[in-house]
Chains A and B, each alone.
Chain A
Amino acid sequence: MDALVFEGVSHAYDDVTAVASVDLRVAEGEVVCLLGPSGCGKTTLLRIAAGLEEPQAGRVIINGREASRPGALLPPEARGVGMVFQDYALFPHLSVAGNVAFGLGGSSAARRAAALEMLERVGMAEHAGRYPHVLSGGEQQRVALARALAPKPGLLLLDEPFSGLDIRLRDRVRDETLELLEAEGISTLLVTHDPEEAMYMADRIAVMRAGRILQQGPPDEVYRAPGDVFIATFLSDVNRFHGTAEGGAVASPFGPLAADGIADGERVDVLIRPEALRIAKGAAERAVAATVVAVHPLGHSSIVDLRLDGDGRAVRARLPGPTAPEPGARISVVLDSSQVFVFPCDAPKSLK
């Protein structure tokens, strides 16, 4: 049984469409990331799952139970979902233990014991008596997570749960969270605008834009085969050219690139990821000579701006490692065609 099912869910605030006929499933124990730019409707979708927004169309089914259909809404408190908000929303008038025990039933001793056990699991047991305002961002996040998980919800909803943390801390908290989610085996829907975070956390990614889900699938699949220009450019930096399809291919400085299924004469977008460009070792086939214009070392890799001989086109390459050629150096580059994407210029309606 799926933990969460959206069927043709639509929602608008006044006249502004936030979610447009979305179909999405979260299988039991699965972590699904809703990925998209701000304002794409991903948080609205999460709030619909929590019962905090009432969709105008479609059905929401949580663990086999209909939670929402037009004209009927199961209130949030009856849904058995846990939610972590972007700002954590810890109750400032309750201690850490009081926050975690908030959603629990039973005697106060039992609630306290359960809260402490949950705090133990997130490594916050020694902070049980403290109040939210004295906690650091990472500690607050862990308490919020413990509070959401304590009532043993059938579905966990996370709204940008790491965005309030600084970058080093974020990596650690992300790891801890993922570990906990896996240990609990809890079905999770996570909202993020960070592709790297989505790739890292998700069993499956659903890319959203303007209220619609454009593509869903396992992270590597979405990364390897983005469905359109928007998805490809959202997931990573790209070099972007225009060209014209001719006999199932488009001409480029690197020779013809496959443009399968695109009619002759149609304008196409050619997207080349910076890591698709590599320095040719020796005399490689289809190598292109280029001049290094600028180098930006990032440590684990280097961004290298190049000017190609021939048409003098500027391209950006990402080369592994901190060492890169000096500006002005002459090199020759080859293209890894698996990281090249060709899309018809105006075909996909999602670009509008």
Chain B
Amino acid sequence: MSVAIPSPRPRGITDLLGRLRPSGWTFAAASIAALVSVPVLVVLGSVFAPAGEVWRHLAETVLATYVANSLWLMLGVGTGTLLIGVGVAWLVTMCRFPGRRVFEWALLLPFAVPTYVVAYTYGALFEFAGPLQSALREAFGWGRGDYWFPEVRSLGGAAAMMSLVLYPYVYLLARAAFLEQSVCVIEISRTLGRGPWRSFSDVALPLARPAIVAGVALALMEALSDFGAVEHLAVPTFTTGIFRTWFGLGDATAAAQLSAFLMLFILVLVLFERSARGRRRFHHTSRRYRALPRYRLRGRRAAAAFLACFVPVFLGFLLPGGQLLAWTVETAGAVVDARFLGLVANSMLLAAAAAALAVAVALVLAYGLRLRPGPVIGLSARLASLGYAAPGSVIAVGVLLPLAWLDNRIDASMQAVFGVSTGLVLSGTLVALMFAYLVRFLAVSFNTVEASLGKVTPTMDGAARTLGLGPAATLARVHAPLISGGLLTAAILVFVDVMKELPATLIMRPFNFNTLAVRAFELASDEQLAEAAPAALAIVAAGVVPVVLLTAVIARSRPGRQAI
């Protein structure tokens, strides 16, 4: 019996030459990467600009302070997050004690509190006129100067507060690393004569070290990026310096050079984080997984473990959250009005638009990489992810400089040709702000989308292609439905990050356009902390969403557990 050969579309192979390779994807990915990497490159390139008067002034006066403060802050936050993060990860992974299951996810809650919000609440709680010191004076009859109390508006205070909300990076990665480990390595260690605790410290901990290093590096990047907290606590660092140089001294070049200096710190951390992640490969030597042997703690030990886990959750989430709630109850009647709801709408619209954009762009990038893995597209993806390491204020500088240049060119040519001044058509618009968000958060969506795409076996692509679908149709009909969960996760993560974002929004927002984060910052700057609370509380509430998501992801991440 003969077979009817399917009538091929009448197209010779030579006609196909143009559309043979999905080179369109490579091209699209490379263009995205080029566009998105412009701000970081502009900032880094500014070191070649001649140093101006302002820079010399900065170098003579405050630069040494910025460097010293940043280094001390890194040391403090690094130590703090390491101790808290690894400690609690160890406890909830290796031990059984009352409340362990709750702590597994509750320990992530401080993630929801932005550094500037924790600074506002602690600043108010611990200041001289704050409730704590007032209560102490009341109780002991002390007066001013009779007693010693730690100054929260200090470098040490900033480092401690940031550690309280940044330790979840270390906790998250350390715990994932402990869970990923095959129980075989622990069992072998046991058969070789190590006790349970020594097996943990001699085998599990070294195996998790790359993940821990990566977690600390991420926490330090966040700490260096922070603007709102150090501004509020009067600890001058690079980010506050960039802001003042730009707006106070009006020198964009010096601000960019300061940004480049800060990027140097960040790039070192990126290298640390990358190389640490690169070394994570040796984990999967055995494919046998089962529950880690957990040691039941009783009595005093159980109480100590409970306390060790409760304190970070309390100080990092419950206390600042409670304070915000108390303030909100106090001021909501006056603050929550149509204007406030406008802020909520602004924030949510911005965040939703940025999330949709970031996910769409990430999908193009990740799918391009899947279709044609190669050096060009691989480099593109890495370049495009670089923005995540860059602090918001640095990105603002890197976006505004080229946009202002472009605006001036457009204005000049319009004036020359039509005799009209167009003014600033791009900078100071939502388009520019959206672009800054894309630069900053593309890596978040890209990593999530790429990870979900990676779980779709390549034979799916092959099956769809042999059944007659082109690459774009395959993406639409096979991958997109399969990874819709991953796309949603990516969108939510970007959404919340944009909600929290302060410095870039502050610098780049259109005139008279406010968001929750900016409003909270403005009110806090005027010491109207109670009035700032509703906005801050809304941001924290939004931040709880990805914590819930992360919890679900971790629960499913354990190899050997069927994840569909």
A-side residues, CB < 8 A to B, are 28-29, 47, 50-52, 63, 65-67, 69, 71-83, 85-87, 89-93, 102-103, 105, 133, 147-148, 151-154, 157, 183-187
Contacts and interface: CB of A to CB of B under 8 A. Distances in A.
Given A73-B21, A152-B3, A185-B1, A85 B467 contact: no
Most chain B C-beta atoms within 10 Å of own C-beta, residue among A69, A86, A89, A92: A89
Contact of B3 (A28, A67, A83): A28
12 contacts: A47-B462, A66-B13, A73-B21, A75-B470, A77-B467, A85-B459, A89-B463, A92-B482, A103-B468, A148-B467, A153-B466, A185-B1
Given A52-B465, A74-B13, 4 more contacts: A63-B5, A77-B465, A78-B8, A79-B466
Give the size category of B's interface with A: 20 to 34
A151 B17 CA distance: 25
B465 A75 contact: yes
Contacts of A73: 16, 20-21
B6 A80 contact: yes
Given A80-B5, A154-B3, A50 B564 contact: no
Contact of A184 (B1, B463, B468, B478): B1
Contacts of A67: 13
A152 B6 contact: yes
A50 B463 CA distance: 10
B561 interface: no
B3 A29 contact: yes
Contacts of A82: 466-467
A76 B470 CA distance: 8
A89 B3 contact: no
Given A72-B13, A72-B20, A73-B20, A29 B2 contact: yes
Nearest to A76: B465
B20 A75 contact: yes
A157 B19 CA distance: 24
Given A47-B462, A72-B16, A89-B462, A147 B467 contact: yes
Interface in B452-489: 457, 459-470, 477-478, 481-482
Contacts of B16: 72-75, 78
Contacts of A76: 462, 465-466
A114 B298 CA distance: 66
A29 B1 CA distance: 8
A79 B468 CA distance: 8
B300 interface: no
Most chain B C-beta atoms within 10 Å of own C-beta, residue among A29, A50, A75, A187: A75
A87 B457 contact: yes
Given A72-B14, A93-B481, A152 B4 contact: yes
Nearest to A49: B466
Contact of B469 (A77, A154, A183, A185): A77
Given A47-B462, A52-B465, A72-B13, A154 B6 contact: yes
Contacts of A151: 6, 467-468
Contacts of A65: 8, 13
Nearest to B478: A91
A89 B460 contact: yes
Nearest to A186: B3
B281 interface: no
B144 interface: no
A134 to B, nearest CB: 12
Given A29-B3, A87-B457, A184-B3, A69 B13 contact: yes
**Shortest 9 CB-CB distances between A and B: which pairs?**
A103-B467, A185-B1, A76-B465, A89-B459, A154-B5, A80-B6, A85-B459, A89-B463, A83-B466
Contacts of A50: 462, 465-466
A28 B16 CA distance: 26
Contacts of B339: none
A102 B474 CA distance: 11
A309 B464 CA distance: 63
Most chain A C-beta atoms within 10 Å of own C-beta, residue among B3, B20, B465, B481: B3
Contacts of B462: 47, 50, 52, 76, 83, 85, 89
A147 to B, nearest CB: 7
Contacts of B470: 75, 77
Contacts of B459: 85-87, 89
Nearest to A66: B13
Interface string B310-354: 000000000000000000000000000000000000000000000
B482 A93 contact: yes
Interface string B357-376: 00000000000000000000
Contacts of B457: 87, 89
Interface in B1-51: 1-6, 8-9, 11, 13-14, 16-17, 19-21
Contacts of B478: 91, 93
A302 B5 CA distance: 48
A72 B3 CA distance: 27
A124 B4 CA distance: 24
A73 B131 CA distance: 74
Nearest to B466: A83
Nearest to A67: B13
A87 B462 CA distance: 12
A81 B3 contact: no
A80 B3 CA distance: 12
Contacts of B460: 89, 91
Contacts of A133: 564
Nearest to B470: A77
A290 B6 CA distance: 62
Given A75-B465, A91-B463, A102-B464, A153 B17 contact: no
B461 to A, nearest CB: 8
Contacts of A87: 457, 459
Contacts of B17: 71-72
Most chain B C-beta atoms within 10 Å of own C-beta, residue among A63, A85, A183, A185: A85
A148 B6 CA distance: 13
Contacts of B477: 102
A51 B3 contact: no
Contacts of B463: 83, 85, 89-91, 147
Contacts of A52: 461-462, 465-466
A71 B564 CA distance: 40
Most chain B C-beta atoms within 10 Å of own C-beta, residue among A65, A78, A186: A78
Contacts of A28: 2-3
Contacts of B1: 29, 183-185
A102 B14 CA distance: 28
A186 to B, nearest CB: 5
A83 B460 CA distance: 11
Nearest to A87: B459
A40 to B, nearest CB: 20
A63 B470 CA distance: 21
A29 B470 CA distance: 28
Contacts of A105: 468
Contacts of B466: 50-52, 76-77, 79, 81-83, 103, 148, 153, 157
A150 to B, nearest CB: 8
Nearest to B7: A80
Nearest to B480: A93
Contact of A185 (B3, B8, B13, B19): B3
A77 B8 CA distance: 10
A13 B161 CA distance: 52
Contacts of B4: 152
Contacts of A86: 459
A147 B459 CA distance: 14
A130 to B, nearest CB: 15
A77 B20 contact: no
Contacts of B468: 77-78, 103, 105, 151
B10 to A, nearest CB: 11
Nearest to B20: A73
A75 B464 CA distance: 12
A144 B482 CA distance: 18
Interface in B254-306: none
A83 B459 CA distance: 10
